[in-house]
Amino acid sequence: MTERKIKVETLTRVEGEGGLYVRLQGEQVEEVRLEIYEPPRLFEALLRGRPLEDAPDITARICGICPVAYQMSSVHAMEMALGVEITPEIRRLRRLLYCGEWIESHGLHMHLLHAPDFLGFESGLAMAKQFPDEVNRGLRLKKHGNQLVDLLGGRAIHPVNVCVGGFYRIPSRNEFQKLVPDFEWGLNAAIETTRWVAGFEYPELESDCEFVSLSHPDEYPMNEGVMQTSSGDQIEISNYRDEFQEQQVPHSTALHAIRKTTGRPYLLGPLSRVNLNRDRLSPAARKLADEIAFEPECRNPHRAIIARGLELVHSYEEALQILRDEHSTKEPRMTYEYQAGVGMSATEAPRGTLFHRYEIDTEGKIVEADIIPPTSQNQAQIEVDLKAWVGQVIEKEESQAARLCENLVRAYDPCISCSTHFLNVTIERS
Amino acid sequence: MCKPRLAVFKFASCDGCQLSLLDAEDHLLAVADAVEIVYFPEATSHMEEGPYDIALVEGSITTPHDAERIQQIRKDARFLMTIGACATAGGIQALRNWADKDEFMQAVYATPEYIQVLETSTPIAEHVQVDFELRGCPINQYQLIEVIRSLLAGQTPRTPRHSVCLDCKRRGTVCVTVAQGTACLGPVTQSGCHALCPSYNRGCYGCFGPALQANLVSLSAQMEREGASKAEIAHKLKNFNAYAPAFRTESTRLVQLEGDQRR
């Protein structure tokens, strides 16, 4: 039997640096590796000994695309350790900030990173010549997300306005309302975008993964809830570390995340969130999901771009509601006294659940930090799905098969800088 | 005439600085038109080998492999510009430069021996000659566009080196230190953020690194008079630009002084 290898040296249109390695023996897929060679930056180690107030600023630097998720998970965890109760107004504004990040990240991923795969272009920029309206719309949607994070967070990349207890300053009602006309346009454009991507041609692929996401009784999950799984389990955040476990697998030196109870990988992200919380999407997003006949439990990872579109619509609708609101926020932030303790929190980054846990001492210093980013948790599931997918594209010529594999990896919107916690080292086998 | 060939490279970093280019929505298509983007993995699957006219480099050098990779990029690039605090000053990950790297690795990885990393996280300029350094964590996208524009026009790029304080005055932001006693690195930090943090009611935390002629010793003394301990001030300097010479020297001095006092 002949041995074949499919290699993608550098994954493109993803955040961070990684590669892909597939080994075939005849028609058999012997090995699939998502290789992450992003250098480790050792955040958990360098956080130790620093003031707890540094956590939102420093952990934001783990990722330039989803800094809000890092800031939100860290402030919630610190507040739990300190016993701080935030006001409903601060909570709403945190959701608004999160909407900004979802709009920015989903807008970018859908138009500039993922859509080119379906339309046969090497980039969004190259796509602009033939699809100028769509690319310009994407840039404008992304800009809205940035504008919102800019206003409430101070700047779009590594916002400065988030702190333990709330915000340093709350923008005026007038500043919020200035965004309303743009966001009204954006809501319609997001609906158009979702209809557009729903019309793409999707390859068949069934993932048998377990879907996992935060879930909240009355709202679409973003910054609070329990971990809901498609097999019906509900897991309190305080049990996160017991239920989701990093494990070493025989074929790789990388740590992979699995469910402890089943020993199997799981999937986080927009597909999981929509599958598990569809009834809590905003009215326009729910109506749209029905209109485009989005499956009640979509198992095709290629179609995650549609789930992303539904979340884009949701984010616009929820953001508009908050932007139009009368803001009566007298207290931008809650005060606190230092006390030793442990705090943890999970929030929904655009690409999946992000877990933080901190131990702090009586002087407000970080003793231990633990961060589990979504991409490292998705890594094992991506490999499982790739294995199935390789079986389908095995007939294709080498470079085309490699391209099709890369397309699938992009469907998960992996955030590799975040995931270096789980650095993968290749060992060649003959 | 051939368009200048632009390449974007990443080392240890968060991707935020190269994202600034994609975030320049209003200018992005114009930039893409003015240059030929021949290597930019975050944005395009189209990849060409060098030589490059302009190489933008994000991230710091933290692995033996990356220490080699930057040498080749230097050979391939006519004009090499670092973008951001990681590439220019070693980034937040340079905090390992004061620590035991092996202990750091053990704290994060179950099997640290599988992963090769250097003892230090260092700026690009410690490895190869750099033609221009664009500061910031993250960089300012308008500065990036302006620097690319001036390169295309054959001009030497410039960015202001004055301190954040001047920008606060221009904006009409009331000084957070004078009015509220908030510790602020504005007097010693380079302009570039439009004096952002004070306008959000907090002290500057030094994203753009030391300003030209920053007087760190004087600022530390002032912060101490206002009640901050040497250790607290050192923590403020040991941030995203911790390894930038002026910040590095002063935080080391403070830590040493504190040690002497304890003895």
pLDDT digits over A6-31, tens only?
777 766 666 667 788 888 887 788 88
pLDDT tens string, chain B, 263 residues long: the values are 689 999 999 999 999 999 998 888 788 888 888 899 999 988 888 889 999 999 999 999 999 999 999 999 999 999 999 999 999 999 999 999 999 988 988 887 777 776 788 999 999 999 999 999 999 999 999 999 999 999 989 999 999 999 999 999 999 999 999 999 999 999 999 999 999 999 999 999 999 999 999 999 999 999 999 999 999 999 999 999 999 999 999 999 999 998 888 77
Question: Is B22 touching A (CB cutoff 8 A)?
Answer: yes
pLDDT (mean) for A115-126: 93
Check whether residue B203 and residue B243 sit in a common domain: yes
Question: Is B248 touching A (CB cutoff 8 A)?
Answer: no
pLDDT at site A253: 42
- The HSE-up count of residue B208 (CA atoms within 13 Å, CB side) is 28
Considering only the beta carbons, identify the residue of A40, A108, A116 that sits closest to B108: A40
Domain assignment present for B203:
yes
Considering only the beta carbons, identify the residue of A15, A63, A425 that sits closest to B115: A425
Which of the two residues, B117 and A158, has the higher pLDDT score? Answer: A158
pLDDT at site A426: 29
Structurally, how many domains does chain A consist of?
A: 1
Give A65 to chain B, closest Cα distance, Å.
6
Domain assignment present for A430:
no
Helix (H) or strand (E) holding B7: strand B5-10
In chain B, residues with a C-beta closer than 8 Å to the C-beta of A65 are 15-16, 19
Write the CATH number for B91.
3.40.50.700
User: If you ran DSSP here, which 8-state letter would residue B43 be given?
Assistant: T
pLDDT (mean) for A44-48: 94
Domain assignment present for A355:
yes
The answer to whether the Cβ–Cβ distance between B45 and A123 falls below 8 Å is yes
pLDDT(A419) > 60: no
Domain assignment present for A42:
no
The answer to whether the Cβ–Cβ distance between B15 and A123 falls below 8 Å is no
Helix (H) or strand (E) holding B82: strand B77-83
Query: Which of A50, A59, A103, A125 is the best substitution to test chain B (most B C-beta atoms within 10 A)?
Result: A125
Check whether residue B187 and residue B149 sit in a common domain: no
Domain assignment present for A21:
no
Write the CATH number for A151.
1.10.645.10
Check whether residue B22 and residue B117 sit in a common domain: yes
Domain assignment present for B37:
yes
Amino acid B263 reads R
Domain membership of residue A232 as a residue range: 49-387
Domain assignment present for A32:
no
pLDDT(A424) > 70: no
Domain assignment present for A210:
yes
Check whether residue B139 and residue B16 sit in a common domain: yes
The answer to whether the Cβ–Cβ distance between A155 and B193 falls below 8 Å is yes
Which of the two residues, A39 and A350, has the higher pLDDT score? Answer: A350
pLDDT at site B32: 83
In chain B, residues with a C-beta closer than 8 Å to the C-beta of A97 are none
Domain membership of residue B211 as a residue range: 164-262
pLDDT (mean) for A136-142: 96
Check whether residue B14 and residue B143 sit in a common domain: yes
In whole angstroms, what is the distance from residue A77 CA to residue A110 CA?
31
Check whether residue B122 and residue B199 sit in a common domain: no
Q: How are beta strands A166-167 and A162-163 bridged, if at all?
A: antiparallel
In chain A, residues with a C-beta closer than 8 Å to the C-beta of B109 are 40, 423
Domain assignment present for B52:
yes
In chain A, residues with a C-beta closer than 8 Å to the C-beta of B44 are 12-13, 122-126
pLDDT at site A251: 46
Residue A236: band (very low, low, confident or very high) from pLDDT cuts 50, 70, 90: very high
pLDDT (mean) for A227-243: 95
Check whether residue B172 and residue B251 sit in a common domain: yes
pLDDT at site B197: 98
Question: Is B166 touching A (CB cutoff 8 A)?
Answer: no
Domain assignment present for B132:
yes
pLDDT at site A429: 29
Check whether residue B14 and residue B139 sit in a common domain: yes
pTM of the model: 0.95
Residue in A with minimal Cα distance to B99: A46
Q: Which of B104, B119, B153 is the last residue of a domain?
A: B153
Residue A375: band (very low, low, confident or very high) from pLDDT cuts 50, 70, 90: confident
Domain assignment present for A272:
yes
Check whether residue B171 and residue B138 sit in a common domain: no
Domain assignment present for B158:
no
Domain assignment present for B195:
yes
Angle, vertex CA A14, rays to CA A13 and CA A15, nearest 5: 130
Q: Which of B153, B182, B202 is the last residue of a domain?
A: B153
Give B105 to chain A, closest Cα distance, Å.
7
Check whether residue B191 and residue B114 sit in a common domain: no
Determine whether the annotation assigns residue A418 to a binding site: yes
pLDDT (mean) for A248-252: 50
Residue in B with minimal Cα distance to A256: B110
Residue A36: band (very low, low, confident or very high) from pLDDT cuts 50, 70, 90: confident
Question: Is A68 touching B (CB cutoff 8 A)?
Answer: no
Which of the two residues, A233 and A375, has the higher pLDDT score? Answer: A233
pLDDT at site B1: 61
Domain assignment present for A356:
yes
Domain assignment present for B159:
no
pLDDT(A221) > 50: yes
In chain B, residues with a C-beta closer than 8 Å to the C-beta of A140 are 25
Give B39 to chain A, closest Cα distance, Å.
10
Place of tokens 């300012």: B140
Determine whether the annotation assigns residue A298 to a binding site: no
Residue A399: band (very low, low, confident or very high) from pLDDT cuts 50, 70, 90: confident
Give the whole-number percent of chain A exceeding pLDDT 70: 91
Check whether residue B133 and residue B23 sit in a common domain: yes
Structurally, how many domains does chain B consist of?
A: 2
Which of the two residues, A36 and A277, has the higher pLDDT score? Answer: A277
Q: Which of B153, B179, B198 is the last residue of a domain?
A: B153
Residue A428: band (very low, low, confident or very high) from pLDDT cuts 50, 70, 90: very low
pLDDT at site B234: 96
